[in-house]
């Protein structure tokens, strides 16, 4: 059973560039979560979707960040324009839409903005 698949695993780019992170949730999971992890701020929930609909985006830091889920098997997190303070590991997680279901995490994308 394939887990949550994220791409790319690593991204290094210059500030001002657009960055797109991708996530494929586990088949059958209808909730998807985007997190950001840094040493300073720890693990932060950015946004989550149920059945492809954004439910809570209060964690999205600013308008430079946007997320979409066009279908049940794909989501993107976009940063435009990127800044050095966006450097972090971005995790995608998915779960079945029930409160007693655990979230399954992808391997993350390590993003470095120069």
Query: Which CB, 74 or 105, lies closer to another protein?
Result: 105
71/98 with CB nearer another protein: 98
Decide whether 64 or 110 has the Cβ nearer to another protein. Answer: 110
Site for another protein (CB under 8 A): how many residues?
Answer: 25
CA distances (Å), 57 to each of 36, 38, 46, 64, in order? 13, 19, 6, 13
**Which two tokens mark 110?**
């390590």
- 28 lies in the binding site for another protein (CB under 8 A): no
CA distances from residue 102 to 1, 33, 66, 89, 98 in whole angstroms, order as listed? 16, 12, 25, 21, 9
- What residues line the site for another protein (CB under 8 A)? 31, 33, 42-43, 45, 48, 50, 55-56, 91, 93, 95-108
């Amino acid at each position: 059973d394939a887990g949550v698949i994220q791409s790319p695993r690593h991204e290094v780019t210059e500030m001002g560039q657009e960055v797109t992170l991708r996530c494929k949730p586990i088949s059958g999971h209808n909730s998807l979560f985007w997190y950001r992890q840094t040493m300073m701020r720890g693990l932060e929930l950015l946004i989550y979707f149920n059945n492809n609909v954004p439910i809570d985006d209060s964690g999205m830091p600013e308008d430079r960040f946007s997320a979409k889920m066009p279908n049940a098997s794909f989501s993107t997190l976009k940063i435009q324009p990127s800044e050095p303070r966006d450097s972090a590991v971005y995790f995608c997680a998915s779960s079945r839409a029930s409160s007693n279901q655990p979230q399954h995490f992808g391997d993350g994308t390590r993003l470095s903005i120069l």
